[in-house]
Structure 1
Amino acid sequence: MKIKSVLMMLSAAVFMMACDKDENGSKTVDFAGRYNGYTLASCNYFQNMISADETVVLTKNTDGTASVSFTSATWGEFTITDAQATVNGDLCTLSGSGQTQMGMNGNTSTYDCTFTAEIRSQDDARMEFSIPAVMGGMTLTFQTGDAPADLLLAGTYEGYTDADCAMFQNRYTDGESVKLTANGDGSVKVVFESASWGTFTVESATATKEGEEYVFTGSGSVAMGMGGSTSNYDFTLSGRSNAAKDDFSIAFNVPAVMGGLTVTLLPGTAPTTEE
C-alpha cells in the first residue's frame, strides 16, 4: 500500500510539472513555437506599413533564454540568440538584442536591433523589433492573428478601367487609380477620380476578410454628365483584393446611367481590341 501511495504522489507531481503552474496556481507560458500574424512598420518616412502572413519562430535555449528567428520577405532576417525571459502568471515577457540583414535589390547590410515581446499564448502575442540605424529609426511591430482588413487594404490601386452598360461593352481606359484610406474605425474611405467617369467617393466602406481575400463594399453619389452639365447619381461599390494588392477588382455600379453603368478597375494595362 505504501508503494502504491508513493507512486500516486509521484504521478501527481509529474502532472503538476507538465502543466507548468506557478505558486499561485496559474498556468505559465511556454513561449517556444511558431507565431503567425502580421507586422506594422513605422519610421521617419512612413507609418504603419502593413505586411500580412508573417511568422516569428521562438526556441527555448537550455539556459531558459529565447532564440528568436524572424524572416520577412519585406523586411529581411532578424536573429536574437539569447533574449531574457520573465514569466508572471499567464504573461511571458522577452527582451534582448541581435542583428538583422536588411537591404534592397539583393544588396544587404547588417544592423543592430533590439527585441521585446509580450506573450500570453501562441494566438495572443505582440513583439517589437527596433532598428535605430535604418531610416531614422525603424520599428516593426508583430501581432498574432489576421491583419486588420482596413489597414491592409489602404493604399493606391493602379491599373485600367473596363466600362460596361446597355449601350456599350468593354470600353477600356488605361492609367486609372483608386485610393483607399483607413478611417481608424475598421472602415475605409474610397476615392476614384477619373477624367472619363467623374469622381466617386465612399466615405465609409465596410472592409472584411473572406477566405484569402479582403473585400470592401459601400455606396455614394457621383456627379456625371457631358458638356459641363452634370447630375448626381447614386452608385454602389464592391471591391476585393489579395493581401499583396496585385490581384484586385474594384467596381462602381451606377444603375440610373445608360441602362446601368459599371466601371471596374483592374490591375495591369487594358487588353488590345480589334478595330
Structure 2
Amino acid sequence: MKLKNLLAMTAIALLTASCSDDDNNENESINPAVNIAGTYAGYSEAAFQYTDTPLVSADESLTIQTDADNTTATITYTSSSFGEFTISGTKVTYASGTYTLSGEGSTMMGMSGNVNEYECTLKGTLNEAKNEGTFTFNVPAVMGGMNITFTLGEIPVSKLLAGSYEGWTEASCAYFEGMQATDQTLSLTANADDTFTLAYTSDSWGEFSFESLSVTSANGIYTLSGKGVTMMGMDGNVSEYPCTVTGSIDANKENVSFTFTVPGVMGGLTITFTQGEAPAANE
C-alpha cells in the first residue's frame, strides 16, 4: 500500500514539474515589448469639455519601438490634427491574450504656429493578433483635460461624418438668383441604422429637418441624400413644406456641400450650403 502511494506521489510530482516547465517556456517565449513593435494604422477621436461630439481624424498611424532594455517601449504618434506625442519607457505586459500598455510622456500641441509642450499619459490595449486595440492619451492641461483615443482600423462612417459644419448658402428660385447668407451651420447625427439625421436652421431660410439620410461612398467621397420637411414663411406666417437634400463630404471633411430643394416655395427654391467662408463680392 505504501509503495502504491509512493509511486502515485512520484507521478504527480513529475507531472507538476512538466506543466511548470511548459508554463515557464510559454512565458519566456512572450516578450511583450518586442512582440508588439511596429507601425499601426487607424483613426483618432479627441474629446474635451468644450464639445459634445469628439473631433475625429482619419488615416493616422502610431509606432511602437522596443527600448534598448527590451522590456519597455517608446510610443510615437504624430497627428495632423492633434499634435506629436512621445511616450518613452512605456510598460508593456501580457496576460490572457491581451497586451496592456501604460506610461508617461509629452506632447507638442498648438495652433497657428503657437506650439507648446504638455505632459501626458498613455493607457492602451492590443489583442494577441495585433489587429484590434486602442491607445488613449490624456493631456490634463489642454482644454480642461483632453483625451485623444487612437483606434486600430478604418474609421466608421458614423464617426467620420457626424458633427457640425459651418459655411454659407446661395439660394435661387423663379424670382431671384444668387441670394447669399453667411454664418450658416448644419449638423449631422448618426443613427443606429447607419443613416443620418440632418438639422439646419437659418434666419434667412427657415428650419430644415431630415431624419433618415442614406449614405454611399465612392473614390473617397461620401454622398448623402433623403427627404424631409422645412418650416418656412414670413411675418409669422410659417408653413411646412416637403423638401429633399443631396450632399457630399470628402474623407478629409475639407470639401462639404449640401443642396436643399423645396419645390413648393417660390416656383421651386434651391439652397446650396458650402462649407467655409463665402467668396468676396465683386466690386
Would you call these one fold, judging by a TM-score over 0.5? yes
Return the alpha-carbon distance in structure 1 between the equivalents of residues 141 and 83 of structure 2.
15
Deviation at 1:168? 5.8
* 1:94 and 2:89 aligned: no
1:197 is aligned to: 205
Q: CA RMSD of the aligned region, Å? A: 3.2
**Kept after mapping to 2: 8 A contact 1:176/1:265:** no
Distance 1:139 1:225, change over 3 A: closer
**Kept after mapping to 1: 8 A contact 2:170/2:179:** yes
Return the alpha-carbon distance in structure 2 between the equivalents of residues 162 and 122 of structure 1.
49
Quick one: which amino acid aligns to residue 44 of structure 2? T
* 1:43 and 2:41 aligned: no
Distance 1:132 1:262, change over 3 A: same
1:81 is aligned to: 88
Return the alpha-carbon distance in structure 2 between the equivalents of residues 45 and 225 of structure 1.
34
Return the alpha-carbon distance in structure 2 between the equivalents of residues 164 and 250 of structure 1.
14
1:175 is aligned to: 182
Task: Write out aligned runs for 1:26-175 (5 A).
Answer: 30-47=35-52, 48-62=54-68, 63-88=70-95, 90-120=97-127, 121-165=129-173, 167=174, 170-175=177-182
**Kept after mapping to 2: 8 A contact 1:61/1:67:** yes
2:7 is aligned to: none
Return the alpha-carbon distance in structure 2 between the equivalents of residues 204 and 271 of structure 1.
35
Distance 1:273 1:80, change over 3 A: closer
Return the alpha-carbon distance in structure 1 between the equivalents of residues 217 and 37 of structure 2.
29
Distance 1:237 1:122, change over 3 A: farther
3-state SS, counterpart of residue 184 of structure 2: strand
Return the alpha-carbon distance in structure 1 between the equivalents of residues 64 and 162 of structure 2.
30
2:21 is aligned to: none
Deviation at 1:71? 1.0
Quick one: which amino acid aligns to residue 75 of structure 2? V
Hey, which of these two has a bigger chunk of helix by percent? 2
**Kept after mapping to 2: 8 A contact 1:161/1:270:** no
Deviation at 1:172? 3.0
Identity %: 36
3-state SS, counterpart of residue 243 of structure 2: strand
3-state SS, counterpart of residue 88 of structure 2: strand
Return the alpha-carbon distance in structure 2 between the equivalents of residues 145 and 248 of structure 1.
24
Stretch deviating more after TM superposition (94-103 or 173-182): 173-182
Distance 1:141 1:198, change over 3 A: same
Return the alpha-carbon distance in structure 1 between the equivalents of residues 162 and 148 of structure 2.
18
Quick one: which amino acid aligns to residue 210 of structure 2? V
Quick one: which amino acid aligns to residue 263 of structure 2? P
Return the alpha-carbon distance in structure 1 between the equivalents of residues 26 and 220 of structure 2.
40
Deviation at 1:111? 2.1
- Whose Rg is larger? 2
Distance 1:134 1:158, change over 3 A: closer
Return the alpha-carbon distance in structure 2 between the equivalents of residues 146 and 238 of structure 1.
25
> Normalised by the size of structure 1, how large is the TM-score?
0.76
**Kept after mapping to 1: 8 A contact 2:170/2:181:** no
Q: Which runs of 4+ in 1 moved over 6 A?
A: none
For structure 1, the residue ranges without an aligned partner over 5 or more in a row are 1-20
Return the alpha-carbon distance in structure 2 between the equivalents of residues 72 and 209 of structure 1.
25
Report the number of matched residues.
251
Quick one: which amino acid aligns to residue 86 of structure 2? T
Distance 1:33 1:240, change over 3 A: same
Deviation at 1:201? 1.1
Deviation at 1:127? 0.6
Deviation at 1:129? 0.8
Match of 1:212 among 220, 223, 237: 220
**Kept after mapping to 2: 8 A contact 1:180/1:188:** no
